[in-house]
Amino acid sequence: MMPLINYIFIAAFIILIWVNTNVIIVKNIKLGVHMKKVLFICHGNICRSTMAEFVMKDIVKKRGLENDFYIESAATHTDALGSDTYPATKEKLRENDISFEKRAARQIRKADYENFDYLIGMDEANRRNIKKAMGGDPDGKISLLLDHTEHPREISDPWYTRDFDTTYNEITEGTNAFLDKIIKTL
């Protein structure tokens, strides 16, 4: 016969599995099947993609659509993994009354292709690296943010240009145009 302590450990283990399973189920219900899942991607995930993430979250909230979208950002490279949003990006967001939260840069994963409806890069190097990491783009999920505007082009990297004003304006233009296209499909 097993000691009582063994039964307690077994019961605790079963409860732990049950709780974790239900957390996963609740998370999937919360995200919803109808919810549009968007991943913004740039080289390091500290300037452009984070700016796009927070600008897009702000826009969907102002339009009352925050329950229809799940928005994240990621990097194609490992340069800044674990780093928070770049200070100049935070300053630009503050100037425009856009809230943001502390975060850690992460790299794209192959599973992102299945988990997101849209993988949106900022420049052609991003697009190439995203396609390479995903093993192609059979479902047509990969685009550049400004592909969704009337004047498709790349968003230059403010890490090098130091021009966060232009980056903010282009990201605002792109996220609004992208959202307008998506709203038509909701």
Residues 16 and 46 in one domain: no
Distance CA 171, CA 148 (A): 11
Query: What pLDDT does residue 5 have?
Result: 61
> Residue 110 above 90 pLDDT?
yes
Residues 23 and 40 in one domain: no
Query: What pLDDT does residue 34 have?
Result: 80
Query: What pLDDT does residue 185 have?
Result: 81
Residues 94 and 129 in one domain: yes
Comparing 24 with 116, the larger pLDDT belongs to 116
Contacts of 155 (CB under 8 A, 6+ apart): 48, 122, 123, 144, 145, 146, 167, 170, 171, 174
Return mean pLDDT, the chain. 89
Residues 38 and 93 in one domain: yes
Reported as a single tens digit per residue, the pLDDT across 49-63 is: 999 999 999 999 999
Residues 26 and 41 in one domain: no
Residues 26 and 37 in one domain: no
If pLDDT is split at 50, 70 and 90, which confidence band does 28 have? very low
* Number of structural domains found in the chain: 2
Kindly report the number of other CB atoms within 10 A of residue 119's CB atom: 26
> Residue 23 above 90 pLDDT?
no
Average pLDDT over residues 12-22: 53
Residues 116 and 163 in one domain: yes
Reported as a single tens digit per residue, the pLDDT across 121-157 is: 999 999 999 999 999 999 999 999 999 999 999 999 9
Query: What pLDDT does residue 7 have?
Result: 56
> Residue 82 above 80 pLDDT?
yes
Query: What pLDDT does residue 184 have?
Result: 86
Contacts of 11 (CB under 8 A, 6+ apart): none
Residues 24 and 43 in one domain: no
Query: What pLDDT does residue 30 have?
Result: 45
Query: What pLDDT does residue 22 have?
Result: 47
SS3 label, residue 61: helix
Residues 5 and 51 in one domain: no
Residues annotated as part of the active site: 42, 48, 157
Q: What percent of the chain has pLDDT over 70?
A: 82
List the domain range (segments joined by +) for residue 13.
Answer: 1-31
Residues 18 and 63 in one domain: no
CATH number at residue 73: 3.40.50.2300
> Residue 170 above 60 pLDDT?
yes
Residues 23 and 109 in one domain: no
Residues 20 and 37 in one domain: no
Query: What pLDDT does residue 21 have?
Result: 46
Measure CA of the first residue to CA of the last residue in the chain; give whole Å.
60
